[in-house]
Structure 1
Amino acid sequence: MLIDPFARKISYVRVSVTDRCDFRCVYCMAENMTFLPKAELLTLEELDRLCSTLVEMGVRKLRLTGGEPLVRRDVMWLIRQVGRHLRTGALDELTVTTNGSQLAKHAEGLVEAGVRRVNVSLDTLDPDRFQAITRWGRFAQVMGGIEAAKAAGLAVKINAVALKGVNEDEIDRMVEWCGERGFDLTLIETMPLGDIDGDRTDQYLPLSLVRARLERRWTLEDLDYRTGGPARYVRVAETGGRLGFITPMTHNFCESCNRVRVTCTGTMYMCLGQEDAVDLRTPLRSSEGNQALEQAIRDGIARKPKGHDFIIDRRRKAPAVARHMSVTGG
């Protein structure tokens, strides 16, 4: 087992397979992004080796993220490779976070590889608003992908970033829509990561306020349910669906953190809201054996901080962390 300095078992790793995305969501990245040179990214074979090493060291859950992971060429090969650890019982769960644009193409393949659940980022049900938020996204394509995922037997969880003055007026509708379709819904506060060509102080909407508004219409019953991530869940009595809240700004959820993130370049961040990191690419490429890689992972876990330092700085109007979410992995 990987144990951090605060006796937390690190059993969950989010691995980014690419920083590229076919959307340009306004809270995530600038429209004219400069992506990393391909030579800096881990190869699919290196990603497989890294994931396998993490599983051997006690990681029980892996989430593949991006950017948009399904736009990476031959990514299904990687997902099938990692899926072999599900069949041996060494890995409990392999999941994918996606914007849904490629789900129609890959939903059945994901199920065949062992994936049983996907998180789909969807911040609005209004096609025009969707276009404004994603800049490059196609609403009908995403809706088709979500339906394909459901038809293939994948459990779907919708992730929505709550944005002040953007989608706060339709969160009620999203709760209803997800309830009708049997989807879980998780609401997320905007996080101060990377330059986005805008001011996050205008976007920030505390979920404590959102919950208070929802309770005017819905009966929200607190649950002990956990997926291994940071969300705190309630059941919506009227729909029977689960509703999660991820609140890095209004409530620091770090006390139970069991995860680390590895970027598409092989950099392991022990905390999403801290800059301290460990280079895993060098030991991956410097030796055919895994001894140096394992030691680097253990060294990083030994430095995992107690919590993050996220803050929306209304004076500087600058991100708390310079790197973009698309590089770190969602």
Structure 2
Amino acid sequence: MFKANIETDGGIKTQAESTKVHYLRISVTDRCNERCIYCFPQDLGFLSKKDSQLSFEEFYAVVFHGAMKHGFKDFRITGGEPLVRKGTLSFIRRLTRTPGISSVRLSTNGTLLGYYARQLKEAQIAGVNVSLDTLKPSLYKKITGGDIVPVLEGIEECRKVGIEPIKLNTVLLKGINEEEILPLIDFAAEKNLIIRFIELMPISYTTKISKENFLSVYQVKQRLEKGDELEPLEKKWGQGPAKYFRMKSRNVIVGFIGALSDFHFCDNCNKMRLTSDGFIRPCLGNHLEIDIKGFLRPTVDPLGLYKSFEWALQKKPPEHSFREKYSPGRAMTAIGG
């Protein structure tokens, strides 16, 4: 990883206080129908074999016998692109109907939302995050390899059926989508959406962080403050690390996710990840993974799943390793967005 004199929000990183971990992000597939330059490697050798992917029954066993027994009550379904896997909607529906689960949310590239929005609403989804790095079709194609039209249609369909909140996730790519920041904010304001700006992180084989492509959320916030007042908000929309502000003149909520420039980013981390091929990952920015497939096959071992989560919680690091020349062992799409 590069060493740059990036501006930060100040402060010295201290040992995180004990935070109750109750949020599990479940990647149901490492496949995706887009090829984002910061997420999906051009070399497809990372894709897991079909028989190593957990079934939805196995996912549910992990949730019921491992996660929930340790107080996990909030869940997010991710990928890859989760909606490309047949059965994802039924799995979401099963989770939302499970006593003791507080919320189930979805992260998606939005390409299939037009078809699934009404069914997601009926399944009682608690919110949808949509990746959107630009409003320009040509630039969208350059960043994702896909077509922006179904994404915008999917967002509109989510609004139509009443899914709330709808959050846009914009990865900051210096020199690529810097000029898209204000248009995206205006789009969010017009559609009554929440928008979050996310720093590029060292989690991909295709996009290495450098001075040329890294733009900190602190710098973006400074730019926005030159033309508007940003009112800090205590309310959190979801379970993630974003810090939220209301842009007063535009009356839009803007969030900032700064894993590199925010030295207190990990202080209140409340989440872990479950990969599609059956690994518990206590921290996105740490190589530690716990393989739990042996407690699922050939039969479910509830005690083994329980102890796996207990061990993962004990080993969860107080902070990520992104500032320590971190090199990803897996692509983001394999870990779960």
User: Normalising by structure 2, what TM-score?
Assistant: 0.90
Aligned counterpart for 2:284 among listed residues 257, 264, 272: 272
Distance 2:163 2:42 in 1: 31
The one-letter code sitting in structure 1 at the alignment partner of 2:36 is C
The corresponding residue for 1:236 is: 247
Aligned counterpart for 2:20 among listed residues 9, 22, 26: 9
The corresponding residue for 1:194 is: 204
CA apart distance, 1:218: 2.1
Distance 1:256 1:199 in 2: 27
Aligned counterpart for 1:296 among listed residues 308, 313, 318: 308
Show the 5 A alignment for 1:14-33: 14-33=25-44
CA apart distance, 1:312: 8.2
Distance 1:18 1:72 in 2: 7
Contact 1:267 1:277 in 2 (8 A): yes
Cα deviation 1:181-238 (Å, max 9, x = unaligned): 1100010000101311x44213211111111111122211111122221111111112
The corresponding residue for 2:168 is: 158
The one-letter code sitting in structure 1 at the alignment partner of 2:329 is A
Q: How many residues align?
A: 316
The one-letter code sitting in structure 2 at the alignment partner of 1:207 is V
Distance 2:120 2:327 in 1: 35
Percent identity for Structure 1 against Structure 2: 34
Distance 1:189 1:288 in 2: 39
Distance 1:40 1:174 in 2: 39
Contact 1:262 1:269 in 2 (8 A): yes
The one-letter code sitting in structure 1 at the alignment partner of 2:134 is T
Aligned counterpart for 1:79 among listed residues 92, 112, 130: 92
Quick one: structure 1 residues 301 and 312, their matched pair in 2 at CA, closer, same or farther if it must change by over 3 Å?
A: closer
Aligned counterpart for 1:143 among listed residues 133, 152, 170: 152
Cα deviation 1:111-153 (Å, max 9, x = unaligned): 1111031000000011110000001x11111111111111111
Show the 5 A alignment for 1:84-99: 84-85=97-98, 88=99, 90-99=100-109
Distance 2:189 2:225 in 1: 16
Distance 1:59 1:312 in 2: 30
- 1:214 matched to 2:221: no
Helix, strand or coil: the match of 2:140? helix
Unaligned runs of 5+ in 2: 1-15
Structure number with greater CO (CA < 8 Å, separation at least 6) is 2
CA apart distance, 1:275: 0.6
Helix, strand or coil: the match of 2:71? coil
Contact 1:195 1:322 in 2 (8 A): no
